[in-house]
Structure 1
């Protein structure tokens, strides 16, 4: 079963949605824009193991929150405290989602999802991604607006970074219908010793002896 970005239920998939496109997509960027992109790429590449908390605000104003864990390559976990129990986990091979309210479990190969790009060993923003806008502030903060050039009408994502010290602060997804979902990282810290169990999720809906 295919998991869409909406199915995945969190904004990190938008980062991963910056999939490989022809390098010509960068041809209209200024030298300063390219330097800013290189700065963001270096930061994301160094973000190999981290944890933190997030608040997600949907188009209708509904709010979700929880904690996230990241261990590249291949592994991540978003666990929601509101709504309680909702989980999205990548174990390096598959992306799995469990909603206890509906008792629904889904999974799809990681390589078949946009998450595979962000969780790859090498993160690239300097080739293939269509960048619509790079906005810089005097404080050193900046934002990158991007979309998939092959499917430009499917929406866009804005990645916002603090400048000093540099930190990924939030991202905003605008879908094909114009609905916006904003995810704010209220905390983000390095986490060099994450437990392997965080990135394991078995199907809770399966009963013993069930095929």
Structure 2
């Protein structure tokens, strides 16, 4: 299975493929043990932060384990819809219509799809993926930073995603999704960091469609 966002090199260019993975940045992690009550409260805050997002646009920078980076714009519409629009040098698109994630590579005219529930991104997109059930709080030593590791122990092939939230009173739920690290079943790690988050923006469902490069009848991208 493709693992998002591991970065692949093609001659002279950097491309993204696979499913998002995220781990808490080392600088945010401290050897502090949270109490059960604190853990429950922080998990509740993380859940509220995600559920509070109806629509969002943000800039993103994606980094693979070798340090290669690529940027673009993320568009999110809950439940289940997301779009990663890469910078012009990357002729690729990742989009979810609420049921499946689709990776479209326009250079090789290839389309790959898989259920959102089968990827680390399910923690962001799948309404049935309960952070309280699958999430584990990772100590940060900072009350303004929440780090939650999400994995399904019965489905290790789905990988692991660690979501990092920073306190921000202007964000839904009082915490802002700042970054995530995804680790796939082959231990390929990808980090995605967000900036310039805008909430409650108008987003049409047409934003989560794509032009199929395999068809002669082309829809607008």
Q: Bin the TM-score by the shorter chain.
A: 0.7 to 0.9
Q: Which residue does 2:165 correspond to in 1?
A: 161
Structure 1 residues 51-200: aligned runs within 5 Å: 51-81=57-87, 83-110=89-116, 115-116=121-122, 118-121=124-127, 124-127=130-133, 129=134, 131=136, 133-138=138-143, 140-151=144-155, 156-165=160-169, 166-200=175-209
Distance 1:113 1:157 in 2: 9
Distance 1:108 1:173 in 2: 17
Q: CA deviation at 1:172?
A: 1.5
Q: Which residue does 2:31 correspond to in 1?
A: none
| Structure 1: unaligned runs, 5 residues or longer | 16-27
Counting matched residue pairs gives 192
Structure 1, residues 70-96: CA drift from partner, whole Å, max 9, x if none? Answer: 111222111111642311111233322
Q: CA deviation at 1:163?
A: 1.6
Distance 1:95 1:152 in 2: 19
Q: Which residue does 2:53 correspond to in 1?
A: 47
CA contact (8 A) 1:58 1:181 kept: yes
The secondary structure found in structure 2 opposite 1:206 is: coil
> Which of 9, 26, 37 is matched with 2:17 structurally?
9
Distance 2:104 2:154 in 1: 30
| Structure 2: unaligned runs, 5 residues or longer | 7-15, 23-33, 170-174
Distance 1:131 1:106 in 2: 31
CA contact (8 A) 2:121 2:161 kept: no
Instruction: Describe the shift of the 1:101–1:107 C-alpha distance in structure 2 as closer, same or farther (beyond 3 A).
Output: same
Scaled by the length of structure 1, what TM-score is found?
0.75
Distance 1:32 1:159 in 2: 17
Instruction: Describe the shift of the 1:10–1:134 C-alpha distance in structure 2 as closer, same or farther (beyond 3 A).
Output: farther
Distance 1:153 1:104 in 2: 23
Distance 1:154 1:110 in 2: 10
The secondary structure found in structure 1 opposite 2:131 is: coil
